[in-house]
């Protein structure tokens, strides 16, 4: 930013800057309705609103697409979608969403405002959740007499909610207001984020309301609310003094709520809502413990640290702990065994160390850096979900590649919804942009690799390695295709769906 000189010239420059700031609004209002080929703040906005809109517009420029359920992972950001099973037409519309990274409307708003606020202020809920459960985090905007706001009451960065009939209970969509009568939105499966006239989106009494996000000191994060922001689910959920069911109640959560997870540990095993888990999380803004069953996300939250030192609570009650986290139970051997953030002794930092033989849960395994230790050499690593870390299979009791444990996908993350874990074989295997040997190269796999397969289809016939096959598999983490010749298994992978869904082109 330029430094302006003091004096009369400063006043003139400030007036000119103000007029220039207002010009885009005037231009936008004169542009009429419809989709626009620009994305930016229109008019005067707070620094927070600027950051949110900048993040949103970066996705607009990247032509990030809508995918149903996208953006609702443990942390804000693009994620794979899922199928909308509410009706046949919705299923047909979202058929490709499980293999598409992007955002839905609320996941998009969540991402933009996490960049503005510096933390996950909106949480991972639906548009309805975000409107009704804001609490102290943000406020509702009202119009004259306390009714619904007019467009003139809105400010850049505000979140606009809509529903057929304009009722809170029916909220199905949300958008980010840019100012000047325009919004940016993720709005339909497989189509890119767009900028459009707000009046075309709130006509026919579809406007429900508007939320205003933090705009400076009135919304500064209070002290004592340390930890990672999470969202609960269920109703009448108990928060307890210790990580066990018999401990005294601190409070009860009446419905989905925003909470702060300071740390998590193994406590008493709990079975509820069809799940069994022994992971508990300490909520700093509630002053007590909650079973991870009632926190949205995996059984062990990867972004929440393990309780240690004075934060660890040894009062786990009767019923003990166990290995009820996701994955099968295995045992380690050796002493002072390092668990790492990545399957590598070079690039992975040490997350924890196991002092001696320990019972662990293993969710998946993959081929990565080759390690030589204790007289063994192995390139297989296993993911331990309760630690959020990797261990070389050298220190796991069993074979070099654990029988019955699925392969992690090629990036070492959770397999996307609707996908299946498989493994490739061979070296220099090419992943292509379309199912054809002549298509563009997305990447090459240097050796056998654990991959996630979302679907397969018959396409160009390929002859290689002494085999001929016309089946190709789609690998969502790479957004590319591989000939099934290089997939371990049958020519047509058992259990993997056809990419072409009946009734869907």
Residue-range domain boundaries for the chain: 9-216, 228-311, 328-395, 406-505
**CA distance linking residue 394 with residue 182, whole number of Å:** 58
* Angle of the 47-61 helix axis to the 105-117 helix axis, nearest 10: 130
**What is residue 422's three-state secondary structure?**
strand
**CA distance linking residue 357 with residue 360, whole number of Å:** 10
What average pLDDT score do residues 292-313 get?
80
CATH code for the domain defined by 228-311: 2.30.30
Phi and psi at residue 418, to the nearest 5°: 85, 0
pLDDT of 135 reads: 56
Confidence of residue 418 (pLDDT cuts 50, 70, 90): low
One-character DSSP codes across 48-79: HHHHHHHHHHHHHHTTPBB-TTTT-SSSSS-E
One-character DSSP codes across 139-195: EEE--GGGSPPPGGG--TT-EEEE-TTS-GGG--EEEEEEETTEEEE--SBTSB-EE
**What is residue 40's three-state secondary structure?**
coil
Residue pLDDT, tens place only, 54-70: 999 999 998 999 999 99
Phi and psi at residue 253, to the nearest 5°: -95, 120
Q: Is the pLDDT of residue 15 over 80?
A: no
Confidence of residue 327 (pLDDT cuts 50, 70, 90): very low
- Choose the most confident range, by mean pLDDT, from 158-162, 294-298, 449-453: 158-162
Measured on CA atoms in the order 391, 396, 398, 404, is the torsion positive or negative? negative
Residue pLDDT, tens place only, 191-225: 999 999 999 999 999 999 999 887 654 334 444 45
Q: Is the pLDDT of residue 130 over 50?
A: yes
Choice among 45-54, 155-164, 229-238 with the minimum mean pLDDT: 229-238
H or E segment to which residue 258 belongs: strand 258-272
Q: Are residues 107 and 128 in contact, defined by beta-carbon separation less than 8 angstroms?
A: no
Q: Are residues 368 and 446 in contact, defined by beta-carbon separation less than 8 angstroms?
A: no
Residue-wise burial string across 304-330, b where 16 or more C-beta atoms lie within 10 A, e elsewhere: bbbbeeeeebeebbeeebebbbbbeeb
pLDDT of 123 reads: 85
- CATH homologous superfamily for 9-216? endopeptidase domain like (from Nostoc punctiforme) (3.90.1720.10)
């Amino acid at each position: 930013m330029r430094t302006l000189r003091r004096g009369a010239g400063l006043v003139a420059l400030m007036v000119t800057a103000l007029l220039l700031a207002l010009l885009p609004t005037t231009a936008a209002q004169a542009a009429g309705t419809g989709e626009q080929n620009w994305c930016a703040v229109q008019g005067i906005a707070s620094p927070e609103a600027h950051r949110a809109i900048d993040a949103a517009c970066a996705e607009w420029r990247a032509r990030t697409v809508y995918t149903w359920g996208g953006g609702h992972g443990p942390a804000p950001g693009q994620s794979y979608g899922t199928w909308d099973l509410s009706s046949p037409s919705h299923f047909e519309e979202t058929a490709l969403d499980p293999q598409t990274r992007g955002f839905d409307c609320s996941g998009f708003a969540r991402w933009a405002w996490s960049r503005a606020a510096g933390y996950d202020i909106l949480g991972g809920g639906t548009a309805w959740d975000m409107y009704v459960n804001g609490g102290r985090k943000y406020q509702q905007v009202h119009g004259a007499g306390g009714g619904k706001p007019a467009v003139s009451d809105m400010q850049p960065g505000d979140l606009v909610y809509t529903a057929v009939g304009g009722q809170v209970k029916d909220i199905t969509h949300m958008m980010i207001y840019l100012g000047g009568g325009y919004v940016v939105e993720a709005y339909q499966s497989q189509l890119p984020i767009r900028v459009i006239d707000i009046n075309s989106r709130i006509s026919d009494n579809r406007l429900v309301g508007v939320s205003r996000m933090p705009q400076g000191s009135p919304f500064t994060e209070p002290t004592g609310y340390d930890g990672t922001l999470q969202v609960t689910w269920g109703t009448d959920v108990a928060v307890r003094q210790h990580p066990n069911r018999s401990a005294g109640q601190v409070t009860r959560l009446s419905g989905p709520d925003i909470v702060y997870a300071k740390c998590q540990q193994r406590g008493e095993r709990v079975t509820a809502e069809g799940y069994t888990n022994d992971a508990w999380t300490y909520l700093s803004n509630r002053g007590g413990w909650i079973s991870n069953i009632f926190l949205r996300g995996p059984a062990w939250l990867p972004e929440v640290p393990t309780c240690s030192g004075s934060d660890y609570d040894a009062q786990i009650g009767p019923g003990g702990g166990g290995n009820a986290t996701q994955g099968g139970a295995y045992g380690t051997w050796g002493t002072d065994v390092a668990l790492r953030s990545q399957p590598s002794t070079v690039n992975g930092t040490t997350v924890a160390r196991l002092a001696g033989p320990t019972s662990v849960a293993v969710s998946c395994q993959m081929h990565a850096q080759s390690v030589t230790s204790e007289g063994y050499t192995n390139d297989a690593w296993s993911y331990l979900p309760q630690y959020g870390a990797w261990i070389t299979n050298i220190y796991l009791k069993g074979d070099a590649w654990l029988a019955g444990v699925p392969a992690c996908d090629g990036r070492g993350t959770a397999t996307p919804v609707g996908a299946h874990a498989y493994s490739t074989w061979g070296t220099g295997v090419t992943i292509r942009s379309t199912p054809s040997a002549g298509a563009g190269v997305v990447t090459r796999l240097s050796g056998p690799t654990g991959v996630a397969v979302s679907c397969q289809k018959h396409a160009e016939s390929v002859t290689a390695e002494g085999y001929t096959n016309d089946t190709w598999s789609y690998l969502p983490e790479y957004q590319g295709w591989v000939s099934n010749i290089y997939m371990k298994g049958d020519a047509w992978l058992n259990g993997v769906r056809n990419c072409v869904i009946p009734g869907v082109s």
